[in-house]
Amino acid sequence: MEFIKSKDAAASGQGTRRSFLGRAAAATAGATALGFPMVSRAQTVSFRFQSTWPAKDIFSEYANDFAKKINDMAGGRLRIEVLPAGAVVPAFQLLDAVNKGTLDGGHGVVAYHYGKNSALALWGSGPAFGLEANQVLSWHYYGGGKQLLEDIYKSLGMNVVSYLYGPMPTQPLGWFKKPIAKAEDLKGLKYRTVGLAVDIFAEMGAAVNPLPGGEIVPALDRGLIDAAEFNNATSDRILGFPDVAKNCMLQSFHQSGEQFEVLFNKPKYDALPAELKAVIDYSVQAASADMSWKAADRYSKDYIELRTKDKVNFYKTPDAVLRAQLEVWDKVVAKKSAENAAFKQVFESMRGFAQRVGRWHFDTNVDFRMAWNHYFGKR
């Protein structure tokens, strides 16, 4: 009887194994069958982007760095091609082109949309209450700015998805035929800037022309403008500023906390699977850090080149001019807040965040100039 039980058990075990193998084979066949549709779903989705930057500018390089991170991490399932400014639409028409689907996405700055709603320029132009550019990004992602930006785009009928990244160092007051010694020296100057800085400098007496980046140096060369700012030592050197002006005023409040914006056409973005949206999310974060590291390296090198090879005279913007900017900024804010409820809402949100974060920042962080002077200042 024991033998019979063992035999039956063995037979039962074989049946169990056959059943398991049968189920496994069926599962494998099913997985294989399911695998074929997955191949089609995994085919490359291509997005055509345009930047607002000239092809030779380092900003165009940053845009392509961002795209490369997505292309590398997406494993062939998503590919972004970045075209330079003007390839499809003029630089200042980027938002409309992405909204309409003429472009799948774009790379620029929020301040370029100033004409749509003045509140948009708060993300990149103006004193930002003493917030550094990375702290403006902190406000955007953790202090309510992101939702406010989405609300403004919706109110404008802009069907886009926006990502902000890449904190920019403080931008110079700009390039001048002769140095600026006092605020009154700006009166009557034909000057290039963008965003709310247009209002600040207009209030200070300048005649302001918000030209795209690629048009600034030709305008300076032809005398269409007397002075201009763009962004940083590398961009300014590449674009040819030292060929048309030899005086650069460093430090200003007009754009002390700007960042890049990456735009996606929302229907195209929404059609992506969750894992590719995650690739975009993390590529934004990676590109933000990478851009900051690259900027410190490249800008410092080109700053030295401008001083030595290009014989540019650099001056610190006088404190009197900086204080005048802040006083004028208060007037601009009062006017814009009275005209535009969205402007007031964004302004108050940023201001509240700045009061809290600024107190912590200035109380806890040491002034690194002391250490730099200790090692290098005597030389």
What pLDDT shows up at residue 39? 31
Average pLDDT, the chain: 90
d(C-alpha 212, C-alpha 82), whole Å: 18
- Please report the pLDDT score of residue 213 as a whole number: 87
State the pLDDT at residue 179.
Answer: 94
Is the alpha carbon torsion for 345, 348, 349, 351 positive or negative?
positive
10-50 confidence digits (pLDDT tens): 444 444 444 444 444 444 444 433 433 333 355 899 999 99
First to last CA, the chain: 102
Pairing of strands 78-83, 45-51: parallel
Which residues, other chains included, contact 119 with Cβ-Cβ below 8 Å and sequence gap of 6+? 148, 152, 336, 340, 342, 343, 345, 346, 347
The model's pTM is 0.86
What's the pLDDT score for residue 282? 98
3-state class (DSSP) for residue 144 = coil
144-192 pLDDT per residue, tens:
999 999 999 999 999 999 999 999 999 999 999 999 999 999 999 999 9
The residues, any chain, with a CB within 8 Å of residue 49's CB and separated by 6 or more, are 63, 67, 80, 81, 82, 83, 103, 104, 105, 106, 107
Residues in CB range of 10: below 8 A, 6 or more apart: none
C-alpha of 363 from chain center: 28
89-115 pLDDT, tens digit each: 999 999 999 999 999 999 999 999 999
Q: Which domains, ranges and CATH numbers included, belong to the chain? A: 43-168+258-296 (3.40.190.170), 174-256+311-363 (3.40.190.170)
Q: Which residue has the tokens 């074989």?
A: 14
Nearest of 73, 126, 67 to residue 254 by alpha carbon: 126
Cα separation, 203 vs 352, whole angstroms: 26
In the numeric block, the tokens 């019979």 are attached to 4
Q: What is the pLDDT of residues 231-279, one digit of tens each?
A: 999 999 999 999 999 999 999 999 999 999 999 999 999 999 999 999 9
Res 126: pLDDT: 85
The residue written with tokens 């802040």 in the block is 326
The reported pLDDT for the residue numbered 4 is: 35
What is residue 155's predicted lDDT score, i.e. its pLDDT?
Answer: 98
Angle between helices 319-339 and 341-364 (to 10 degrees): 140
Average pLDDT over residues 110-121: 94
Percentage, residues of the chain above pLDDT 90? 85
> Average pLDDT for residues 75-95, to the nearest whole number?
96
Q: For residue 286, what is the enclosing H or E element?
A: helix 274-308
pLDDT digits (tens, 9 = 90+) for 305-327: 999 999 999 999 999 999 999 99
Give dist(CA 201, CA 184) in Å, integer: 11
Per residue, the 3-state secondary structure of 211-277, as one string, reads CCHHHHHHHHHCCCCCEECCCCHHHHHHHCHHHHCCEEEECCCCECCCCEEEEEEHHHHHCCCHHHH
Sheet holding 227-228, edge to edge: 207-208, 190-192, 227-228, 174-176, 247-250, 313-316
